[in-house]
Structures are given as structure tokens and as C-alpha cells.
Amino acid sequence: MGTVTPQPTTAGNPPPDGGRTPTSRRRAALPRLYGPLLAFLLASGAFCAAWAARGTFPFGDKGRAINDQANQYVPFHRALWDLVHGQAAGDVLFTWRGGFGQQFLSDYYTYLGNPFSWLAVLVPREHVDLAVFVITPVTMGTAAAVMAVYLGKLHPGPWWQRGVLGAAYGLCGWALSDASYIPMWLWGLVALPLLGIAVEWCLEGRRWTGVALLVALAWFGNFYTAMMATMAACVLLAVRLITLDLTGAQRLRALWRAASAAGVGILLTLPLLLPSFLSSGAAQPTKAGAFDPVRIEIFLAGMLPATHLWGGRPRLYVASLGLILAGSFLLNTRIAARTRLTWAAATLLVLVSFQFPPTQYVWHGLAVPNGNPYREAFVFSGMVVVLAWLALANRPRPLHLALSAALLLLATFVLRHTNDFGGWTWPAVLAGGAASLLALLLLTQAGRHRALLPLAALLMTGVVLAESTVAAANADARRSRERWAAPVPTSNRSITNHFEAVRSVDGWPAYRTDSGAPQTSYNDALALRAEGPQYYSSYLPEATYKALEPLGYGFKNDGRTFFGADNPVLDAIFSIGARVRPGTEPNTWTATKQPAPPLVTLRTAPYASPNPGDSVYAHQEDVLGATVYEVPQATRTGTATTQTYAARCTPGSEAYWYSPALYGTLRSGDSTRPLEDRMTGVVPLGPVPASGEVTATVETRTENATAGPTPIGCLDRTTLDARIAALKSTGATSVHVGGHTLEATLPPNTTGTAVLAVTNIPGWQCSAPIRDFHGLLSLPVTPATRTLSCTFTPKGLPPGLAAAALALLTLTSVTTASYVRRRRERI
């Protein structure tokens, strides 16, 4: 064959794109956006309509902050705002706010990975909670839009039909019930169709770089649900390899492209993924129970539209339109038998895998989920929508649609007595199902009667919007009746006043400010810019738990949540020089200052408390390095439910109480306070009277439990003040704190052990060998030591950066090679 000489581009020789101008190309591409735009507007609009119908914020006075949204997500987004606006005590690697200093990178990845979380930094800080709420409909809408694109890649079809079914996916039961108040999980809803598009590119043998970037985008958002979406993408790839007419070589190339691109994409996220994995391993363990599958009738009821099952139940449904179409998929003979059987079998296997412990553990990364175990339910809903689209794109017959609708009606009737059967399920099935069936029947006749097409489109769009709005409102209403899900405010006058009170006594890093007992959230320190012990994170290290628990700080969630304790000895240990307490009037707060040692203090000799070694007061003295408590043996009288404790102390001292085994009410003198077992730390009883008699009565609901022999400790404030003065005089003369660094200057001729008021968590590297001092970070110093410095680097960050650099180099090389090859092919 002769050589083909490229022809110049002239009027008689049109360019490869057919001579279209940039304007004409933009006009041709515009219709491609119609489907995704419709899906976005439908999904986000339905969810916002449900908010408005319920009168929830910002459309009313009802709160939206449910459980961890109030305790974690809003405070972490406020911390992100502070970080971006240069007002954070710390950086992306470490935060000095909360837990007396904790890693932040893993928390950022887990709680702030959703790209839409950055909406929070675009609003004033006092409106960050509104931005957090907006993340939900925006992410749902994006998931719906991306699904509309993915459906078009599976099979061509009208843009509005893809948009409607994309919205049905974005408004699936999992999104409305499980993830609507968990912004980072919702990114998995986006990741599934994103990875579906990546699968199609692999099958087409193009855009390897794009595949890797889509994988990275999915995993950057949230590794937990992205892992589930990635497993689902493997199922999608397997189905497509079976159903498409490909040669063996083509299948192998597609597998190689998928595996290699996925590997590179995940490697790009390793600077976040690896530290998070290692932080999880170092976190305080939790007592997660074994997976216990629900009964089959409850499991099947989760597939009925507008159903909201209580507790750890599967929310598997999509709108009636999607269910009716998916039900007709197997009957549609216009679709090849192999395609129908493969897709149906894959969907059934995915569904069945949710009920068996081994496969459930695989879905959850070989971990037992702490909470609802059906967190991968969106995968099944996504596959149902795919079946619905394939059925719709291949013109289902009216008889098949009617049979599918009848099956849905029959299933609803059979399951109507199931525990927690949704009150809105019958209306959704009868009204939504009937409207969906009518719309689909009109669509089947639109080929002969074109006037029916707009009516069918309007009816299909309207039924998904209306039914999903009802389902979302029902899910929110049913959930709000549960005690754990009662919404709490995240912005009001009290919170504003609390924040201003904390800021009025800020002195960081000369001393810490404690925001007091949790009033706003379990992460008040982050939310209010304080530096106390309050912190709630799945990554709170076991080392922090072992340091703070013996000292008398309250905690819950098996030790992954710590609260404050109004105790001057603990304030001295952790350099707390200011404290905020509730005022005497509602919504008011009182801020006070007190002398405090610096963040770095000196211990010149070992110290052991003479008080009973198993008491919390002895542990405090061991760390403080001085005897400041009188710890008498308390006598107990009364009954198992009403226990009175009496002890004698020096008149004028200050009495404190600690009873982590009791839950109930504590009464002493004229004061009454709740006791919430381990959540309640050391609490003040008040001054010891002239008689020296200290009494406290506990009305407890804890069976067969007591406060033990030493619940009462009496503090000698004069001795404590002298110890604080000594720690100040011998401690660091100056302390400079950076984002994840600490530098201290010591007095001349210092010798002994420098103790940092920071828990000894993994990741610290210092200018001298690190020693553990009762769970705190400490360093040996000699007379020649004038300065000491420490830097925190999350475990796994350096190798993660190296792996990401290698992945980036691979991407660059492949992209460059591909560009050069295409240039040569054009020549």
C-alpha cells in the first residue's frame, strides 16, 4: 500500500469535526446537559420541598441537626472555616482545639472529604450550619445528575427520561433515611455513577487517565462509601464484560485498564487514606456487635417506596416509577436474554449479599459497622435504577408494565403487617404507582400519538417529585420521633453568647480556655474555638483515652468522646487559665480567668501520691507532682437505689465527687446534678462546712453498683496555688505553637523532665527522646538544654505522599505518551 499524504484543510477539504465552529459545537453539546440538569433540579428540589413541608430550618423553626450532624459535622465544618480563614489553632495535620491536641488529617478526610464541604467556607462563620444543611440537597442533586450521564452511556435514550430516573436514584431510600444528615456518606451516592462512567471508558479502551482521576475523585470524597461504590463498580464491570460482544483480548485489556487505573487513582489518595487507616488502628477500640440480619419480611419491606424502618434496617427503595420499570426488565424480550439474566442475577446477588455476615463484612471493609449495618444499600438502589433505564430505553410493553405494577401492589399487601411498615407506603404505592403506570402507558402510545409525549413526560416528572418529597418528609418525621435523632439547634442566641464568652478570655498559647460542659455539641472546643478536652472523633487515640480516663474526665462512645471536668487540679495539669460556665440568666455565659502553668512544665523528681492508689484523686496528684487532696474513706448507707455517702474532711477545703459506675441523680446540700455514669467526670460538691462532714446522696438506676470507697476528695486550694506557682516559676519561659509544632524556651540550668500538656499520641517527634509521663508527652532535659521542640506528623503521611507522587508521575507519563501517539497518528 502506498503512503497516504494528509490533505491540507481548505474549503474543499473539511476538518475532521465536519467543519463545525466552536459555537456550533457548544450548541450541539448543550442538549447533553438537559438530562443531568433535570435530574439535579428534581432531586434537590424534592428534598428541599420536604424540608419546607416539615417546616425545618431554613424554611422554619424545626432543627435539622440530628445526632452526629450536631455533634461532629457542623463543628468540623466550623473548624474548616477557621482553618481556611486563618483563625484555627492548628492546621490540616493537627488541631490544638479539643482533646488537648489531636491529629486532624484523618478527621478532615473522614468528615470533610465531600467536595461540597467547602461551601462552608464561603459563608459567614455564624451560618456554617446552614451551609452544612445545603450540602445534602446539592450532593443528592449531583448524584442524580451523574447517574443521568451514566445511564446514557449504558444505552441511548431521551434526556428527560434519563433525568427522571437519575433523580429517582438520587432520592433513594438510603439517601433520604440514612445519609441525609451525613454529608460525607452522601459522596458515595455520587461515586457509584462516577465509577460506572469509568467502567464504560475502560470498555471503550480510552481515557485511562480520566478513569484514574474519577477513581481518585470518588475516594477523595469519602473512602468508606467510595469503597462500597468501587465494589459495585466491579460488579458493573463484570456484568458488562459478560453482556457485551467482546473478544477475549478485549476483555483482558478492559480488565487491565480498570485495575491499573483504579490502583493509580487510589494511590493518589494515599496521603489521606494511609494516615486514616493507621489512625483507625490506633484509635480507642469500640464494642461493635456482630452483624445480625433482619428478618426476611422486614428486609423485603425496605424495598417498598416511602418506607422508613426503625433502627438498623435496610432502606432499599426507589420511587414507584423505578420499581415498576425494573420489575418489567426480565419480561422485556426486546432485550437480549443474556443481558436480562446477567443483570438480574447480579442485582439479586448484590441484594442477597446484604444478609450474610461474610459478604457484609466485605462490603464494610472487613469491619463490623457501628450502627446501621446496611450502609451499602445505595448500591442496590443504583442497580435497580439501571434495570429501570434498560427496560425503559427498550420500550416496555403495556402488559409487562401492568404485571410489574400488580406485583408491587401484591408485595405491599403481603407486607402490610410488617413491623414498622411505613404509614406513607400505601399512598406511595397506590397513588404514585398508579400515576407512574399511567405515565408509562401513555409513553408506550406516544409513538402513534405524539401529543401524548409531553403529558407522559410531565406525569413522570411530577410523580417522582411528589412521591420523593413525601418519602423524604416521612423519613424526617419518623426519624425525629426517635430519642437519639431529636434535632438540636446549631445556631441561636445562647450559642452566640457562649462563643463570645470563650473569645473574651482567649489567651492561647499562654494558656488554654475551657468552654465548659457540652452545651452546643460534643465538639464544643472546635465549634467555639476553645482548647479544652472536649473531642468526639472516630479517630480519638487509645493513648488519649488512657491518659484522660484515669484523671476523671467524663467520656462516652467507648472512649471516643471526651467531655470537660470543672476541676482546678485538672486545669493546672493541662494549663487551663480560663473557663466558661453557664450564667445565672438563660442564654448567658460567665467567663473567668485563673493562674495556670505554661504548656511546658518541669518535674525534678519522681512523685507518688500517698492517697489510695486506685482513686482518681491520687492519679491527678501523680501527674501534678504534689499532694493537694485529702481522700477519706467514705461510709455508705441507704438502699441499692438511694445511697448516701459520708466522709470527714478539713473544714474550708473544697469537696469533689467522682462515681463513674453510677447513673442517676447526685444531691449534696442544696445542689442537685445528674450523674450519667462515665459521661460525668469529677464534679464539685462545694466547700466543706465547719463540721467537716461531707455528705452526698445518689439516687441511682444502675443495678448492683456503688461509688466505691473513695468517691469524695477534698482539695486544699492553698497547696494547689503554691504548686501552680512553682510550676510557673520552673516551667518554660516562652512557648511558641505553630500549626503542628511546639517550641519552648526553658530557664537556665534546667534539669529533670519537661512535661508537655499534650497526650502522648502517635506521630510526635521531638528534639529529645520522647518519654511517657502518665499518658502525657515528656522529654528529658539537662542544664545544657535551653530549648525543646516537637513536631507532629501523622503516621503514614510520608509514605502516602511518596505513593501519590509515584501515581502522579505515572499519570503524567501515560498522558504525555498518549498525546504524542495521537499527534503521530494525525500526521
pLDDT tens digits for range 615-642: 999 999 999 999 999 999 999 999 999 9
What is residue 795's three-state secondary structure?
Answer: coil
Secondary element (H or E) of residue 254: helix 248-268
**Grid cell digits, residue 562:** 471526651
Would you put residue 90 in left (φ > 0), alpha (ψ -120 to 50) or beta?
left
- Domain CATH number, residue 710: 2.60.40
Residue 2 domain-assigned?
no
pLDDT of residue 487: 83
Residue 23 banded pLDDT, cuts 50, 70, 90: low
**693-720 mean pLDDT:** 95
Strands 576-582 and 512-514, bridge-based pairing: parallel
- Are 572 and 652 members of one domain? no
pLDDT of residue 29: 63
CB 307 within 8 Å of CB 425: yes
**Grid cell digits, residue 278:** 493507621
As to burial, measured by CB atoms within 10 angstroms (0-12 exposed, 13-18 middle, 19+ buried), residue 753 is: middle
Residue 67 banded pLDDT, cuts 50, 70, 90: confident
As to burial, measured by CB atoms within 10 angstroms (0-12 exposed, 13-18 middle, 19+ buried), residue 636 is: middle
> Which own/partner pairs from 776-782 qualify as long-range (CB within 8 Å, at least 24 positions apart)?
776/547, 776/623, 778/603, 778/753, 778/754, 779/753, 779/754, 780/752, 780/753, 780/754, 781/602, 781/746, 781/750, 781/751, 781/752, 781/753, 781/754, 782/750, 782/751
- Nearest 5°: the CA angle 292, 298, 302 is 110
What is residue 336's three-state secondary structure?
Answer: coil
Residue 755 belongs to domain spanning: 724-792
Residue 485 banded pLDDT, cuts 50, 70, 90: confident
Q: Which residue in 171, 211, 257, 286 sits closest to 539, CA to CA?
A: 286
**249-266 mean pLDDT:** 96
- Are 514 and 437 members of one domain? no
- Note if the bond before 158 is cis, omega within 30 degrees: no
Residue 488 banded pLDDT, cuts 50, 70, 90: confident
**494-516 mean pLDDT:** 95
- Are 143 and 182 members of one domain? yes
Residue 711 banded pLDDT, cuts 50, 70, 90: very high
- Are 751 and 690 members of one domain? no
Number of domains, the chain: 4
Dist CA 221 CA 241 (whole Å): 28
Residue 21 banded pLDDT, cuts 50, 70, 90: low
- Are 711 and 731 members of one domain? no
Residue 7 banded pLDDT, cuts 50, 70, 90: very low
pLDDT of residue 24: 57
> Which own/partner pairs from 453-461 qualify as long-range (CB within 8 Å, at least 24 positions apart)?
457/160, 457/161, 459/435, 460/161, 460/164, 460/321, 460/436, 461/38, 461/42, 461/160, 461/164
Residue 64 domain-assigned?
no
Residue whose C-alpha cell is 523528681: 605
- What tens digit of pLDDT does each residue of 79-102 get? 999 999 999 999 999 999 999 999
- Are 692 and 584 members of one domain? no
pLDDT of residue 2: 37
Q: Indicate if the pLDDT at residue 502 is higher than 90.
A: yes
Dist CA 741 CA 563 (whole Å): 25
Dist CA 539 CA 537 (whole Å): 5
Q: Indicate if the pLDDT at residue 594 is higher than 70.
A: yes
List the strands of the sheet with 642-648, edge to edge: 635-638, 642-648, 693-700, 663-668, 671-676
Q: Indicate if the pLDDT at residue 289 is higher than 90.
A: no
- What tens digit of pLDDT does each residue of 740-760 get? 999 999 999 999 999 999 999
**104-126 mean pLDDT:** 96
Q: Indicate if the pLDDT at residue 422 is higher than 80.
A: no
Strands 642-648 and 693-700, bridge-based pairing: antiparallel
CB 521 within 8 Å of CB 494: no
- Are 469 and 511 members of one domain? no
Residue 318 domain-assigned?
yes
- Are 390 and 314 members of one domain? yes
- The per-residue pLDDT of the chain, averaged, comes to 92
pLDDT of residue 446: 81
Choose the final residue of a domain: 689, 715, 741.
715
Q: What Å distances lie between residue 339 and 166, 242, 347, CA to CA?
A: 21, 8, 12
As to burial, measured by CB atoms within 10 angstroms (0-12 exposed, 13-18 middle, 19+ buried), residue 238 is: middle
Choose the final residue of a domain: 715, 737, 758.
715
Q: Which residues contact 802 (CB under 8 A, 6 or more apart)?
A: none
Residue whose C-alpha cell is 462545694: 686
**115-130 mean pLDDT:** 96
Dist CA 639 CA 119 (whole Å): 56
Q: Which residues contact 595 (CB under 8 A, 6 or more apart)?
A: 577, 721, 724, 725, 728
Q: What Å distances lie between residue 229 and 192, 202, 212, 234, 710, CA to CA?
A: 5, 17, 15, 9, 53
- What tens digit of pLDDT does each residue of 173-212 get? 999 988 999 999 999 999 999 999 999 999 999 899 999 9
Ranges 298-302, 410-414, 498-502, 821-825: which has the least confidence: 821-825
Please state, for a pLDDT cut of 90, what percent of the chain lies above it: 82
Choose the final residue of a domain: 566, 588, 603.
603
Q: Which residues contact 573 (CB under 8 A, 6 or more apart)?
A: 551, 620, 623, 624, 757
pLDDT of residue 476: 87
Residue 825 domain-assigned?
no
- Are 710 and 728 members of one domain? no
Please state, for a pLDDT cut of 70, what percent of the chain lies above it: 96
Residue whose C-alpha cell is 501520691: 609
Residue 96 domain-assigned?
no
Phi/psi at 583 (5° precision)? -80, 175
Q: Which residues contact 26 (CB under 8 A, 6 or more apart)?
A: none
Count CB neighbours of 55 within 10 A: 10
Dist CA 324 CA 646 (whole Å): 71
Q: What Å distances lie between residue 690 and 523, 649, 653, 656, CA to CA?
A: 40, 10, 10, 17
Dist CA 712 CA 702 (whole Å): 19
- Are 250 and 390 members of one domain? yes
The string of DSSP letters for 518-585 reads -SS-TTHHHHHT--SS-EE-TT-BHHHHHHHGGGT--EEGGGTEE-----HHHHHHTTEEEEEEE-SS
pLDDT of residue 369: 73
Residue 530 domain-assigned?
yes
pLDDT of residue 5: 35
Residue 123 domain-assigned?
yes
Dist CA 29 CA 562 (whole Å): 54
- Are 503 and 586 members of one domain? yes
**309 DSSP β-pair partners:** none
Residue 464 domain-assigned?
yes
Dist CA 775 CA 550 (whole Å): 10
- Are 528 and 445 members of one domain? no
**Residue-wise over 149-160: b if at least 16 C-beta within 10 A, else e?**
bbbbebeebbbb
Count CB neighbours of 126 within 10 A: 12
Count CB neighbours of 331 within 10 A: 16
- What tens digit of pLDDT does each residue of 653-690 get? 999 999 999 999 999 988 899 999 899 999 999 999 99
Q: Indicate if the pLDDT at residue 375 is higher than 70.
A: yes
